[in-house]
Structure 1
């Protein structure tokens, strides 16, 4: 790294570090965990700020009657060291202590309110546990507490990177510091903006968090700003994404297509920062089987390695569900949150052509996903890793353009699992149809379709690609299938590795 390389403090509500500890809910945490691991691997000057969740996100179970239910349990952390630092954040007039822990093997610090005699010690209990006041309290700990933790530790970042709007209150704390030292609001805002960058993920306006101004003030999150100043930054109601866009010198979307979507979403909001595109990536040691990379130039060894991972997935499914799948039949993986725009039922909407294939066993499908009452994205690292290494095909068919990035497809691709996907998220940047995977439905000229028309169009396209290209190649042309696996790995293992993403963050976001 150059001596002029900026030191970055990266704020995120969730980090996926270990599958068994649910300090993450979905893709946001998966990305943050991969980013911090990659920064450590490649020696980038990044410090992560997060929260030590006592119970983390919910685990979903199925009772004896077949109904799902959510459960929480307290986690034991064996990889933390006590920094000795405790910082305080005033929340609803209570002076809440935030203990600062460090993850031993990573440059990541976690704040924790769960200790005796601490008012509101529940705040770091459940990740995304609530919507209103409680959510603001959690975000105040992350943002305000995070900046104060950096100060207490003597860490002086050049850049503050907010991964989603949850981290916005760090910007409020930086404003407060400058205004207490005599800067007027406008000057303080200008100075703070020169140090903040922002990553936006949610491609649906309604999915971006907002709060009534009165709630912000009641919680104490305004830390001295007037109603007029709050409205100037985040509007009324106070939109966390808009506020982050306005307090940042530059922002990024998480794929090139998402850049178009995000700029269109926020075009009517003045004084927002430029939104560039930096496509997400993955931490290869976490997600990609080493034997797939090692054997990419040896067709027979590559196929044998894939079958080994497929058998592991089949064993995993049998242990979890009691169902035994056939390793010689095409296995399609689909792991998504169970919400309407993901269209998990699309493949079942053509009984005439697909039902016989399922009945005969020519197609096997593994679905993994759950819905949550609070509808934040969910993802399980263990299941995700099994599916993205052991499936033959990775199916992704969101109603475009509502997929921001979709890193699970990258994991599959680098494991030689062939993507069969709508041209949404990252896939338009990688797809070479019939060479390293398949696309269906086309990606342009469909804006005038109603949701029902789009579903019908995409269902027909999916059936055509499956029946005319995927199945004939799998069952009749194994050498071609293996060639596509090789090309899938070769075409993605550098362009969608976390190192490339880090390089682009530092070149186009941090140094700009």
Structure 2
């Protein structure tokens, strides 16, 4: 696969770095929402002809291939892919010092092309080189694999190595956009170079002048809780990075007790944003003294619209893929056409469910309302909230039958998440035929496309305020799915009760009351609509498309980044 950087070097001025990036279902360089967002960002950058280059890790062994064992537990496997099948090797290599010796990094080039023919380059950093010591070759192999030692080594490759690779390839970058704190060593690298080139030291405790670096760096933070941020003991930092940066100076930028990558990125970025209005508010409380803007995430409409809905969109807005705001006209669509498109998407999803789990999916039917929950399997997402009271659930289903599909991977070291997967299947077994429930293994970009399109109701039950944004519900709404969600993340902005979907609980309500309110909504609002009010249901589906799809998309998001962050 031959490709060249020549068409991009002269015009590219913005670099976007992300530890993970969902470029294609066959390229296993992502684990979940962060990577899918990065991929949608790149796709919209191509659509809008933004002068950008994207940088991530090659992750040859992927994140994980999920298998469900006989006992219902997740079994982790590597999920390898071959870069040579999807990308072109570039004739450049750079070295960084890790644990006192050189580690060499090469780059693969993947070019994303939009339907209009516009393109953006993506660089995949790879340490799998014979020149490297055997223990260094696998640094970039497994996404989020290993312990904190490997994580810091990976983040050094992304941040320090990524910045050096861009220069070595001939890019003249003016603005660096850090997608989460994993790339925070990049502005530190810029600061170090600026200090070495300066004739005079900065004044005050910090002997480096951070202002020139801040002018060039943008930071998007995604993690709304302290526990989710990468922290590294300074002893480990000194062992891995050596004298790359003085520890006493690093403490002033990244925290006294440990190197906090989020705080480092905040300290060295001149423009910072959260990924939803609510998330920005939460981040301001966590990090007082920093100006935190809000740019709510969006999804790439042509990537996530099911072909049945894409045909309808073409009728009302021929340029919908490039200008999704045209979807505001979705209220003009015939009710029968919208319901038929959903039936087509639902049938495709159910067929995939029967293929993946024939025994568990045997009771699924095309004529029953379908509730879908597909998230990363971890405690704060509360995937078991729907099953808090199995007796109540049976009573509701007896009057208004429905069925449930669940999917999601647990991080290899998240024992709570793995136990939740097993527990969910226990609940499905206990419910028997009263409520057909199937867990679909191997949740990835390809399965996600089917699930967001086929869901009648998209269920989301995070523990507030731990949802940064969330984008899967946006994708469901784009396909006429109705959100039933806790008021957190993006849903606070999009929720219109009985119009775009429904809230689980009230804003600020004690989380312990959410299960009861979820059952009330199912019993009194959601299922009666799906069973007996086709006209109202079609109207709500069209409202979801027109009010959410036309606004919560990555074209809108990238136009905001360009106007407010890149051109500041």
TM-score range, shorter chain: over 0.9
3-state SS in 2 of match to 1:84:
strand
- Post-superposition Cα deviations, 1:100-146, rounded to whole Å, max 9, x if no partner, equal 21103342111111021312111111011123221111111111111
Aligned to 1:57: 63
Change (3 A) 1:422 1:73: closer
Give the superposed CA RMSD: 1.9
1:403 corresponds to which residue?
A: 467
Match of 1:107, SS state, is strand
Residue 30 of structure 2 corresponds to which residue in structure 1? 24
Matches for 1:164-243 after TM superposition, within 5 Å? 164-182=180-198, 184=201, 186-220=207-241, 223=244, 225-235=245-255, 236-243=257-264
Residues 1:467 and 1:65: Cα distance change in structure 2 (over 3 Å):
closer
Matched residue SS, 1:103: strand
1:366 is aligned to 405
2:51 aligned residue? 45
Q: Could you tell me which residue of structure 1 aligns to residue 458 of structure 2?
A: 394
Residue equivalent to 1:80: 87
Q: Is residue 414 from structure 1 mapped to residue 470 from structure 2 by the alignment?
A: no
Is 1:424 aligned to 2:430, yes or no? Answer: no
SS of structure 1 residue aligned to 2:104: strand
Extract unaligned runs of 5+ from structure 2. 1-10, 113-119, 313-329, 418-441
Give the equivalent residue in structure 1 for 2:438.
none
User: Cα offset for 1:61?
Assistant: 0.5
* CA displacement 1:310-352 (0-9 Å, x = unmatched): 0011111111111131111111000112222211111122334
Pick the aligned partner of 1:130 from 132, 146, 163: 146
Distance 1:397 1:64 in 2: 27
Asked whether 1:93 is paired with 2:129, we answer no
Match status 1:15 vs 2:21: yes
Per the alignment, do residues 342 and 423 of structure 1 end up closer, same or farther by CA in structure 2, a change over 3 Å counting?
A: same
Q: 1:473 aligns with which of 507, 525, 529?
A: 529
Seen in structure 2, the aligned counterparts of structure 1 residues 145 and 127 have a Cα distance that, compared at 3 Å, is same
Q: Distance in 1 between matches of 2:150 and 2:553?
A: 36
CA separation in 2, counterparts of 1:358 and 1:472?
11
Partner of 2:558: 502
Compute the displacement of 1:154 (Å): 1.3
**Distance in 1 of aligned mates of 2:494 and 2:400:** 30
Q: Offset of 1:361 from its aligned partner? A: 7.5
What is the CA distance between 1:370 and its match in structure 2? Answer: 2.7
**CA contact under 8 A between 1:357 and 1:363: conserved in structure 2?**
no
8 A Cα contact 2:224 2:283, kept in partner: yes
- Give the TM-score normalised by structure 1: 0.93
Q: Distance in 1 between matches of 2:24 and 2:121?
A: 16
Structure 1 residue 221 displacement after superposition:
6.2
Q: 2:75 aligns with which of 69, 77, 85?
A: 69
Larger mean Cα displacement after TM superposition, 158-167 or 124-133: 124-133
Aligned to 1:139: 155
3-state SS of 1:206 partner: helix
Please state whether the residue corresponding to 2:302 is helix, strand or coil: helix
Could you tell me which residue of structure 2 aligns to residue 253 of structure 1?
A: 274
Distance of aligned partners of 1:360 and 1:60 in 2 relative to their CA distance in 1, 3 Å threshold: farther
Q: How far apart, CA to CA, are the structure 2 residues paired with 1:210 and 1:314? A: 42
Q: Deviations over 1:3-32 (max 9, x none)?
A: xx9921111110011223321011110110
Does 1:116 pair with 2:130?
yes
Deviations 1:209-253, CA, capped at 9 Å, x for gaps: 101111111111651x21210101101211010111011102100
Task: Provide the rounded CA distance (Å) in 2 between the counterparts of 1:222 and 1:469.
Answer: 62
**Alpha-carbon distance, 1:375 to partner:** 4.1
**Residue 420 of structure 1, CA deviation:** 0.9
Alignment partners' CA distance in 2, 1:363 and 1:29: 32
Distance 1:66 1:339, change over 3 A: closer
User: C-alpha offsets along residues 362-381 of structure 1, whole Å, 9 cap, x if unaligned?
Assistant: 12011112322334999621
Kindly state the Cα deviation for residue 353 of structure 1 after the two structures are TM-superposed: 2.8
Distance in 1, Cα, partners of 2:550 & 2:481? 16
Q: Any idea what SS the aligned residue of 2:210 has?
A: helix
Counterpart in the other structure of 2:393: 354
Per the alignment, in what secondary structure is the counterpart of residue 95 of structure 1? strand
Deviations 1:181-219 (A, max 9, x none): 135354542211111110110111111110111111111
